[in-house]
Amino acid sequence: MPNVTSNGASIPALGFGTFRMDDREVAEVLPEALRLGFRHVDTAQIYGNETAVGTAIAASGIPRAEIFLTTKVWVDKFAPADFIPSVEESLRKLGTDHVDLLLLHWPGGSDIPREVQIDGLNKARAAGMTRHVGVSNYSSAQMREAAGISAAPLVTNQVEYHPWLDQGAVLATAADLGMSVTAYYAMADGRSATDPTLARIGARHGKTAAQVALRWQVQQPGVITLSKTAKVKRLPENLAIFDFQLSDDEMVAIHALARTDGRIVSPKELSPAWD
């Protein structure tokens, strides 16, 4: 699997996301995902499944160094007294002495100043709790602000991204800052699988519409995508996106699906003023 390099981090271009997966689903699906070849696993404190993720990784037999593991600090843990203890708790649950990437989960939902939040990330990195740091759900202006504050380079901004949501401003800012963009909701909550444009393009390549959506993302410079499924049978399909290439015209046609009302995730108390 190809890697995306950003500000010193080398991140597998396709990850396995665990959002909205309970412990049973993680225990059923993640071991098979690892067996098939996934080496990038994404979780978060608020998902409530860090223990299940850590158990699956430990039982896989795959050396920890071969797995790129991400977790995220929830907004109620941004205060200095809570930040590092929350990361320590995440590491205990995950059964590891460090993660590869630690993110601030949302820019809103906390009255802790941004510089204090970023300082927490830097302290976790300095203590060896994480190899790299980054943010999630940040606007392009917030990315620039955070990058200017952080002593350590920020390696990614994890955001919603799929064919119906134009993230051009965030992508341009990430490129300017040497960062990557990590896409979640890549399948647009199932919409990608049934879209006629994606299906027509997929038919030309012998691929499904969902595979085309994932390929469209990883084919863009600096973009990492998180695939997520609670069905073991879908895993091989999600992985099989590196043996074909979309044409320039096909990439343009997929970009043209973007809509002004295409955003799916925007909790009022947590979200920024989106680009």
| 125-150: average pLDDT | 98
CATH code matching the domain that covers 10-188+217-242, chosen among 3.40.30.10, 3.20.20.100, 3.20.20.105, 3.20.20.140: 3.20.20.100
What is the arithmetic mean of pLDDT over 134-140? 98
Token pair of 275 as six digits: 């680009």
Instruction: Tell me the mean pLDDT in the region 170-193.
Output: 96
pLDDT at site 234: 94
pLDDT for the residue numbered 111: 97
Q: Domain coordinates of the chain in residue numbers? A: 10-188+217-242
Looking up tokens 């979640």, which residue turns up? 184
End-to-end CA distance of the chain: 31
**DSSP states along 203-243:** HHHT--HHHHHHHHHHTSTTEEEEE--S-GGGHHHHH--SS
* Residues recognised as catalytic: 47
Total number of residues shown for the chain = 275
Average pLDDT of the chain to the nearest whole number: 97
DSSP character at residue 118 = H
Per-residue pLDDT at 170: 98
Q: List the structure tokens of 266.
A: 């925007």
Distance CA 222, CA 216 (A): 12
Assign 243 a pLDDT band (cuts: 50, 70, 90).
Answer: very high
Token pair listed for 118 = 């970023």
> What pLDDT was estimated at residue 59?
96
Under the banding of pLDDT at 50, 70 and 90, the label for residue 107 is very high
